[in-house]
Chain A
Amino acid sequence: MYYNTTAGDVKAVDGLSFELHEKEVLGIVGESGCGKSSLASTLIKLLPTNARIVDGKILLEGDDLVAMSDSEIRRKVRWTKISVIPQGAMNSLNPIFRVGDQITESITCHTDVKKSDAKARAAQLLTLVGVDPARAKNYPHEFSGGMKQRAMIAMALSLSPKVLIADEPTTALDVIVQAGIVELLLSIRRELGLAIILISHDLALVAQMSDSVAIMYAGKIVEYGPSKNVYLTPLHPYTQGLQKAFADIRKPRQPLVSIPGFPPDLIDPPKGCRFSPRCQYAKEVCNSEEPPLLEAEPGHSVACHFWREIRSGGGKT
């Protein structure tokens, strides 16, 4: 998926492939500007006018969403099969409508149910996410940040979708509130049998929730596999760098390590491996040839020329 800008095409999501199984939680981790949120909006085809899907397929239960028309998506897919909790959900509620009415509206918009039934459904959903249904007649400003987030989750669940895309669901929330939201998402998955795509920059949060994880860098997946493999034996230098930069509360005091440099410009990304300018293992081949995403271990793939050396050498620190 590319964005058209006056400065040239921004290659926000570039040649990305992954699978999401039923009831799976897939974590997508990356820095800001790596294309995580663009990926989310591509998946439900809610794209701004200057964006276009250049190539590729999004297969949902065998149907290709890229080939579908907008109206078809609106009727058959969006919200009924895939729904999304947008980034900054705290500010996504309309401040001049009651919370309950907003949830009801999302139900009546997509289906033909009666308004009274939709209202009952909204109350049921609010109970599910742990908000007192009596608060449905409150306005968003009367809700705390955590409650607004819960209301947004209720709205996303209103048509019992199969896939829930959560884009940074806990940014700007306090840790204790964040813990509550994480618990809620996991219990929803267990009860309703949803698959969740969790998009976050927080490596620790994703570790807590996901079954498999994809690490994104500059519009590409650099490492992808079951969470356990990726976290315990990270093979890509970027994954390793991220892990070191992340303070672990259990470990004794240690100096902080950062990844030097900053993410590349996606209008004109570096040739070859996009991480090479920041990589400590980079050799000449990294500047000329782009490493393919190869399966290093069953189910665990990595896009790096030197993953073997990294694994045998200073793989884990």
Chain B
Amino acid sequence: MKAPGDQAMPTRQRSVGSFLLIAYVFAILTLLFWLILIIAWFNDSGSVTGSIIGPFLTRLGLFLAIPACFSIGTMIHTGNLRGALKRREIGRLKELNSLIWGVLSFFLTNPVSGAMLILARGPLGQVVASGTSSIPEDRILVVEHMSKLYPVRRSFSQVMSRETEAVVHAVDDVSFELRRGQVAGLAGESGSGKTTVLRVALGLTPTTSGSIFFNGKDISKMSGKELKQVRTKMQVVFQDPYESVNPRMTVFDIVAEGLYVNKLVSSRNEAIERVEKSLRDVQLTPPTEYIYRHPHELSGGQRQRVAIARALVLGPELIMADEPVSMLDVSVRAEVMNVLLSVRQKQGISVLMVTHDLALSKDAVDQLAIMYLGKIVEQGPAQAVVSSPYHPYTQALVAAVPVPDPTGPRIRILAKGEIPTNIAPPSACRFHPRCPLAKPICSETEPLMLEVSPGRQVACHFWKEANEGFLRGTTEEQVVELAK
């Protein structure tokens, strides 16, 4: 009776011993991880480094803690520990010790690194105390101090040698508002952050700091479930209709998908009815002719109208459109723009449009904001901004737009060079290295956004001189001969 038990004992002990060793190793590594995290935190508090160190170490912590728990779990399974506890043998308490460490490491590393992450996010940008109560009823979208920074990926050695972190300032402290039933435009060169503003406003990517109020509610603090509900009221139309509609789905499937996802229809007939109404709204008539077609049977303009129909079918209050016509032919651009503007008029839908076409935005947009390197440099009524720009950057954009008239003014180049990278944007006024009017103050003090005339805001130290100089240039129809 006794013999078999005694013989089995040593082998079991040996295997337990190796488990014990593994458990200790992992417990020590977990401790080390803690130590690194705390040191990194104290050294870098106030900088953005935490946001990279944080996730990296969290992963390391999980990597260590999970096997630690496994080894301890196996140890318990062997029954050795239970026996030790029963017999209250002092020597066995070592194993108890390791068990405690293993469990602690598992339960503590995750919440702690999570908390570290939250703390690390804090100092990324100044979180502005948002006055939720002060959002007027007629503002469908209010963006307050929105910033979006993307950390640049660093190699392991860079992380370890604690090289300064690079961050792309895609959007930096942008504020604007959109009234109900209006069309707002965001214009600027590629890389100015217009599309990022749109993505953040849609809740497709979280803000780094700042708030976005849609119908008075801050979407940057919403959960996924709440966002899903809000998105039925806030729809998007993408730039390229050749990419944004699924070629294997019919027009009906494309447009009705949102209805089914949000469970807004109970029967197929109801879905068909809603889809047909939506297609009529975008002037794809008669809808029966288009409803079972595939995208390859449609022209570019028709595809984009299907994309608009898809946005409309949910009955949104706000449509965000990212360069909705830039991929289309000139002769159909106006048509698609008019579809968008007519639904605005008939159904009171507000539109936030990203565009780089100033000539078009003058005709289609009510409020225009000009962006440069992640900041809004000028905003106001579109017609006024385009015909009498205050900011030298807006002027450079306007002057570079060709006019379809061979006898008209020639395009002029008012900005030197090309848009710099926004990893390390220029100091103070970001436009100063390219600005023809730049003075020393421009690289020292950042110009504040000033309301210079009713509804017109500009961030430039010399807006007055710039505006006068520009108007003199255009009113005299001064034809600057290109490359004399």
**A227–B397 alpha-carbon span in the complex (Å):** 25
Interface size on B, residues (CB 8 A): 51
A228 contacts B by Cβ under 8 Å: yes
Structural contact, A183 and B359, CB atoms closer than 8 A: no
Q: Which of A235-249 contact B (CB under 8 A)?
A: 241-243, 245-249
Please give, as numbers and ranges, the residues of chain B lying within 8 Å of A246 by CB-CB distance: 330, 359, 404
A254 contacts B by Cβ under 8 Å: yes
Q: Which residue, A32, A210, A242, A252, has most C-beta atoms of chain B within 10 A? A: A32
The answer, among A179, A203, A242, A262, for a CB contact under 8 Å with B411, is: A179
Structural contact, A256 and B337, CB atoms closer than 8 A: yes
Structural contact, B412 and A179, CB atoms closer than 8 A: yes
Structural contact, B333 and A207, CB atoms closer than 8 A: no
Please give, as numbers and ranges, the residues of chain A lying within 8 Å of B356 by CB-CB distance: 174-175
A294 contacts B by Cβ under 8 Å: no
Structural contact, B407 and A252, CB atoms closer than 8 A: no
Please give, as numbers and ranges, the residues of chain A lying within 8 Å of B408 by CB-CB distance: 207, 250
Partner-binding segment picked from B85-93, B174-182, B360-368: B360-368
Please give, as numbers and ranges, the residues of chain B lying within 8 Å of A190 by CB-CB distance: 483
A231 contacts B by Cβ under 8 Å: yes
- Known contacts A202-B402, A228-B407: A242-B331 contact under CB 8 Å: yes
A114 contacts B by Cβ under 8 Å: no
Please give, as numbers and ranges, the residues of chain B lying within 8 Å of A144 by CB-CB distance: 418
**A184–B410 alpha-carbon span in the complex (Å):** 14
Structural contact, B335 and A146, CB atoms closer than 8 A: no
**A246–B407 alpha-carbon span in the complex (Å):** 16
B396 contacts A by Cβ under 8 Å: yes
Please give, as numbers and ranges, the residues of chain A lying within 8 Å of B38 by CB-CB distance: none
A201 contacts B by Cβ under 8 Å: yes
**A175–B394 alpha-carbon span in the complex (Å):** 11
Closest to B189 in A: A174
Q: Which of A213-266 contact B (CB under 8 A)?
A: 227-228, 231-232, 241-243, 245-250, 252-260, 262
Please give, as numbers and ranges, the residues of chain B lying within 8 Å of A91 by CB-CB distance: none
Structural contact, A248 and B329, CB atoms closer than 8 A: no
- Known contacts A31-B331, A177-B418: A227-B406 contact under CB 8 Å: yes
Closest to A211 in B: B406
The answer, among B332, B341, B359, B397, for a CB contact under 8 Å with A248, is: B359
**A232–B396 alpha-carbon span in the complex (Å):** 27
Closest to B393 in A: A176
- Known contacts A179-B411, A256-B338: A247-B359 contact under CB 8 Å: yes
A-B contact count (CB 8 A): 143
B386 contacts A by Cβ under 8 Å: yes
B132 contacts A by Cβ under 8 Å: no
B137 contacts A by Cβ under 8 Å: no
**A101–B387 alpha-carbon span in the complex (Å):** 46
Q: Which of B124-140 contact A (CB under 8 A)?
A: none
**A182–B400 alpha-carbon span in the complex (Å):** 10
The answer, among A32, A183, A256, for a CB contact under 8 Å with B334, is: A256
- Shortest C-beta distance, B409 to chain A (Å), equals 8
B66 contacts A by Cβ under 8 Å: no
- Shortest C-beta distance, B23 to chain A (Å), equals 49
Structural contact, A262 and B330, CB atoms closer than 8 A: no
Please give, as numbers and ranges, the residues of chain B lying within 8 Å of A252 by CB-CB distance: 383, 387
- Known contacts A176-B413, A256-B363: A262-B301 contact under CB 8 Å: yes
Structural contact, A204 and B402, CB atoms closer than 8 A: yes
6 examples of A-B residue contacts, CB within 8 angstroms: A31-B331, A146-B418, A201-B329, A241-B331, A256-B333, A256-B338
Given contacts A231-B407, A241-B331, A258-B331, 14 further A-B contacts (CB under 8 A): A179-B399, A183-B411, A183-B483, A201-B330, A204-B402, A205-B402, A208-B406, A208-B411, A246-B359, A248-B403, A252-B387, A255-B363, A258-B332, A258-B333
Contact residues of B with A, CB < 8 Å? 189-190, 299-302, 329-335, 337-338, 341, 356-360, 362-364, 382-383, 386-387, 396-413, 415, 418-419, 482-483
